[in-house]
């Protein structure tokens, strides 16, 4: 109570008797408060608008940029690795198809070579077979003609031994021919 | 021992600065706490952001959260055009919030418990809305008094109510903050006074009896913390809503 009366007393003294007892409604203090508020609030506004908010904004922007930059870098690296993977797969596929082509080509070449070899061999064999058959036929003809001669001689000799007369060569050979044709 | 819940609102002149007309301009305890408030905000916003780290520390987080909080409040109520008034609304919000929070500390002074301060701030908002609204929209600004889709025969009445409510805005805007702070601090003081009164007056029994008002004081302090922030938020969001009228008249 003592404090209160002292406080209001001080006011009434300073304000020339305005004091209503309730400080928020003591109009004598209004001017001081308004001037204080004006100074404080203008100072705050200037500090906030000139220094504080731009600084916060720049930090937040920097963070946003850093995050976006990191994400972009990550995306770039991912794209690069994707591209590398794709290149690897393309390369692998082309290598595989090339290997297949080479294989096919080689196989065809070898087949063709083998075919050619076989053909020449066959041709050779055919020629030799033909030659052999010719030879056999020749030999046979010779042999057959020899057989005729031998048969005629043998027939002539047999007839001579049986009859004691040497038969006419012509007759014998025609008889042999007839028999061979038989 | 007598409870004097009003004493805490006394304006004590510390020294006289000068005179304007026949008004004495003094450096008072209120001035001191206004300057402390500005200093605390500056320290938070500039000191906290001094290093400007990519990953914020505690103080920097508070500064950034305050920034984001006010910015999102403006964007959601007044749209992106409202960001023109970001420094103003941020200053208002931080000034009220920080001075209210400082005021909860025992033996301190609460700047916004004086109606002249809240009226000054509310009038600042009122005239900002009025001047910017007319500057931006010309006469179209006055469409805010003429709601669309109202039948002709009740339009005069509606217009009268709209105009009245527009001019009563600074009153409700300022009295809400002032009354909340005043009432909260009086209630705190009264309950805290009970504790002391019981403890001193009734001895051991008083000590036991004092537990209840003590618990209430603790609870009220928590409530006052909430109110301190909430009233600053309400003041800021109403400012945004009023500014939205100036930016987009004809609702």
Q: Over the stretch B2-57, which tens digit does the pLDDT of each residue have?
A: 667 788 888 888 888 888 877 888 888 899 999 999 999 999 998 888 887 778 88
C-alpha to C-alpha distance for B5 and B189, rounded to whole angstroms: 5
Q: State residue B50 phi and psi, 5-degree precision.
A: -55, -45
Question: In chain A, which stretches have pLDDT less than 50?
Answer: 1-19
Chain A residues with CB-CB distance to B18 below 8 A: none
Residue B95 has, within 13 A of its CA and on its CB side, a CA count of 29
Nearest-angstrom CA–CA distance, B82 and B241: 10
pLDDT at B116: 92
In 3D, which of A62, A46, A63 has the Cα closest to residue B45? A46
Q: For residue B59, with 0-12 CB atoms within 10 Å meaning exposed, 13-18 middle and 19 or more buried, which class applies?
A: middle
**Chain A contacts in chain B segment 215-234 (CB below 8 A):** none
Give the model confidence (pLDDT) of B58-84 as tens digits: 889 999 999 999 999 999 998 888 899
Answer for the pair B117, A33: CB distance below 8 angstroms, yes or no: yes
CA distance A26 to A4: 15
For residue B57, the model assigns a pLDDT of 84
Cβ A51–B46 below 8 Å, yes or no?
yes
pLDDT at B224 over 90: yes
Q: Confidence band (pLDDT; 50, 70, 90) for B179?
A: very high
Contact B34 A40 (CB under 8 A): yes
- B251 falls in which pLDDT band (50, 70, 90)? low
Span between the terminal Cα atoms of chain B, in Å: 57
Give the residue-averaged pLDDT of B93-122.
Answer: 93
pLDDT reported for residue A18: 41
Q: Which residue has the higher pLDDT, A47 or B208?
A: A47
Please tell me which of the candidates B9, B38, B67 has its beta carbon nearest to residue A40.
B38
Q: How far is CA A149 from CA A153, A178, B63, B67, in A?
A: 6, 14, 140, 139
Q: What average pLDDT is seen over chain B? A: 88
With CB atoms and an 8 Å threshold, state whether A33 touches B54: no
Nearest to A55 by CA among A47, A65, A43: A47
Report the DSSP beta bridge partners of residue B13. B28
Taking an 8 Å cut-off on Cβ atoms, the answer to whether B37 and A25 are in contact is no
Token pair for A167:
């038969």
Q: Do B17 and A35 touch (CB under 8 A)?
A: yes
Question: Residues A165-170: contacts with CB within 8 Å, 24+ apart?
Answer: none
pLDDT at residue B202 tops 70: yes
* A17–B contact, CB cutoff 8 A: no
Least confident of A10-24, A163-177, B144-158, B206-220: A10-24
Reported pTM: 0.73
SS3 B20: strand
Neighbours of A5 (CB within 10 A): 10
Quick check: A43 and B38 CB within 8 A? yes
Burial grade of A144 (CB within 10 A; 0-12, 13-18, 19 or more): exposed
pLDDT given at position A100: 95
Q: Is residue B178 pLDDT above 60, yes or no?
A: yes
**How many residues does this entry show for chain A?**
182
Distance from CA of B247 to the nearest CA of A (A): 20
Asked if the C-beta of A7 comes within 8 angstroms of chain B's C-beta atoms, the answer is: yes
């Amino acid at each position: 109570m003592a404090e209160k009366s002292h406080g209001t007393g001080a006011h009434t003294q300073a304000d020339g008797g305005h004091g209503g007892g309730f400080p928020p409604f003591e109009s004598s203090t209004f001017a001081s408060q308004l001037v204080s508020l004006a100074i404080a609030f203008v100072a705050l506004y200037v500090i906030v608008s000139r220094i504080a908010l731009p600084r916060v904004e720049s930090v937040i922007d920097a963070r946003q940029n850093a995050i976006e930059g990191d994400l972009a870098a990550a995306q770039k690296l991912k794209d690069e690795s994707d591209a590398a993977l794709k290149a690897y797969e393309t390369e692998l596929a082309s290598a595989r198809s090339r290997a297949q082509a080479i294989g096919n080509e080689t196989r065809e070449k070898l087949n063709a070579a083998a075919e050619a070899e076989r053909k020449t061999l066959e041709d050779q064999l055919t020629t030799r077979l033909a030659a052999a058959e010719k030879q056999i036929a020749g030999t046979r003809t010779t042999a057959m003609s020899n057989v005729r001669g031998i048969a005629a001689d043998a027939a002539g000799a047999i007839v001579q031994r049986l009859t004691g007369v040497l038969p006419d060569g012509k007759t014998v050979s025609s008889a042999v021919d007839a028999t061979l044709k038989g | 021992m007598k409870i004097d819940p009003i004493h805490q609102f006394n304006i004590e002149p510390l020294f006289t600065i000068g005179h304007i007309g026949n008004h004495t301009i003094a450096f008072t305890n209120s001035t001191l706490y206004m300057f402390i408030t500005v200093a605390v905000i500056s320290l938070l916003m500039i000191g906290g952001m001094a290093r400007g780290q990519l990953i914020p520390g505690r103080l920097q987080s508070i500064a950034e959260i305050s920034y984001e909080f006010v910015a999102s409040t403006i964007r959601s109520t007044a749209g992106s055009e409202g960001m023109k008034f970001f420094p103003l609304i941020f200053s208002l919000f931080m000034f009220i919030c920080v001075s209210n929070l400082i005021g909860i500390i025992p033996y301190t002074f609460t700047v916004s418990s004086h109606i002249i301060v809240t009226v000054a701030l509310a009038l600042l908002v009122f005239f900002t809305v009025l001047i910017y609204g007319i500057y931006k929209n010309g006469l179209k600004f006055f469409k805010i008094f003429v709601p669309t889709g109202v039948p002709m025969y009740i339009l005069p009445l509606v217009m009268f109510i709209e105009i009245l409510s527009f001019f009563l805005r600074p009153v409700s805007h300022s009295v809400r903050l002032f009354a909340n702070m005043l009432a909260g601090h009086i209630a705190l003081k009264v309950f805290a006074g009970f504790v002391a009164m019981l403890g001193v007056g009734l001895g051991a029994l008083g000590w036991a009896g004092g537990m209840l008002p003590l618990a209430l004081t603790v609870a009220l302090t928590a409530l006052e913390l909430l109110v301190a922030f909430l009233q600053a938020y309400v003041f800021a969001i109403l400012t945004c809503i009023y500014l939205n009228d100036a930016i987009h008249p004809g609702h």
